[in-house]
Amino acid sequence: MKWTNLFDEVLIEAAAVDTPLARRVCAIFPAHRVKVLDGPASATGGAGSLTVAVEKGAFLRRCPGTPGMICCNLFVLNLGVGCPYGCSFCFLHNYQNQPGIRVYANFLDAMAEVEEAAEDFEGDELRVTTGEFADSLALEELTGMASELIPPFGRQKKALLELKTKSDQVDSLLGLEHGGQVVVSWSLSPAVVAQREECGAPPLEARLAAAQKAAAAGYLLAFHFDPVFLIADWQQHYVNLVDKIFDRLPGARVRWFSLGGFRYTQSLKNVMEQRDSETPVFLHEFVPCDDGKFRYFAPLRAEMYRILREAIERRAPRTPVYACMESAQIWKKAFGSLPAGIEKLGPIFGPFRAGCPSLGSCGQRS
């Protein structure tokens, strides 16, 4: 990636000027394209801008979930907002009020919050991802943020870092001391979907090659099919992709595999149709759900999850497979049980059972 082509200008918050991240970024961009702001930046800048800011609030929060859906107990480390890729379905189109990208120069301060949360956490494993409001590795060769975070996570006993990405920028991670506490996870779609809906992200083959490098360096892996689009011949496309993954990667190293059917809010639909008036994704029938989102008709979703779960379990029987943001009804049909009844999901969903009286009514994210 040619960073000077990707960003027109770099904005540095005054308080971030004397930080390693700001110095690293400034070394790449010519001085006339770097602007130091007098005070704090109120938000991300305009399209084509990268803002290096200082986070004064908390970095870590529990994934808020979404009403009526079962949540997978993930924690989110918010080290920046925005992404250089242009996936059609990305919820950031609605979430961000400005189109630029923002990163936090004081991101290593987040480790103190992680350590405190891990100490208080009732389960065995506190899963933390940096890939909620940004792609965890899409800017890695520019910022080096993940590479800085890996060694401190490698010294953790209970906290597990998930770097969730559609990127192939893993080279700087390969020699680091990850201590078995870092999961590099890829969001994948069949090539026919990726080409149409994941504009700007590295192609499927590049992501799989990056996953092979990460596996060879001893990292744990995870995969996400989210969103799954019910395109023509979807079953063949997605099941072939499951086989492609496990033909190339050791199933025993895959810590989890999550599935999520395509879903949208009305405002995301408006943005998607504005960006691509020919989009075929709304040709299907969708139904409104309790959380205000539209999803495929429940029997279709249940069938989709069941088929994909079985395809994954054929190749990696011990890998936990779970649905993201789905109802108890879908869980029972597609997985045969709620997560509490599936032993291998214990490390992921178990803390919920310990901490919450009702699986379906707490900690939901949008």
The CA distance from 110 to 81, in Å, is 15
When asked if residue 92 is in the footprint of ligand SF4 (CB under 6 A), the reply is yes
Which residues 164-183 are close enough to bind ligand SF4 by CB under 6 A? 166
Binding mask 37-76 for ligand SF4 (x = CB under 6 A): ----------------------------------------
The CA distance from 218 to 175, in Å, is 10
- Yes or no: say if 236 and 190 are a contact pair by the CB < 8 Å rule: no
The CA distance from 243 to 241, in Å, is 5
When asked if residue 325 is in the footprint of ligand SF4 (CB under 6 A), the reply is no
The distance of closest approach from Cβ of residue 342 to ligand SF4 in the complex, given in angstroms and rounded to an integer, is 27
- Yes or no: say if 129 and 162 are a contact pair by the CB < 8 Å rule: yes
List, in order, residues 6 or more apart from 289 with CB less than 8 Å away: 68, 69, 263, 295, 327
Q: By CB under 6 A, which span of 47-55, 87-95, 117-125, 206-214 interacts with ligand SF4?
A: 87-95
Query: Of 54, 83, 193, 316, which one interacts with ligand SF4 (CB under 6 A)?
Result: 83
294-296 vs 286-288, strand pairing mode:
antiparallel
Nearer to ligand SF4, 90 or 103 (CB): 90
Which residues 123-162 are close enough to bind ligand SF4 by CB under 6 A? 135
Nearer to ligand SF4, 166 or 263 (CB): 166
Rounded alpha-carbon distances, angstroms, from residue 366 to 22, 184, 190, 326, 355: 32, 23, 25, 11, 21
Q: By CB under 6 A, which span of 13-21, 86-94, 113-121, 262-270 interacts with ligand SF4?
A: 86-94
Nearer to ligand SF4, 87 or 193 (CB): 87
Nearer to ligand SF4, 187 or 327 (CB): 187
The CA distance from 198 to 176, in Å, is 29
Q: By CB under 6 A, which span of 84-92, 178-186, 262-270, 338-346 interacts with ligand SF4?
A: 84-92
Alpha helices in 198-286 (DSSP H): 204-216, 234-248, 266-275
When asked if residue 6 is in the footprint of ligand SF4 (CB under 6 A), the reply is no
Residues that bind ligand SF4 (CB under 6 A): 83, 85-87, 90, 92, 135, 166, 201
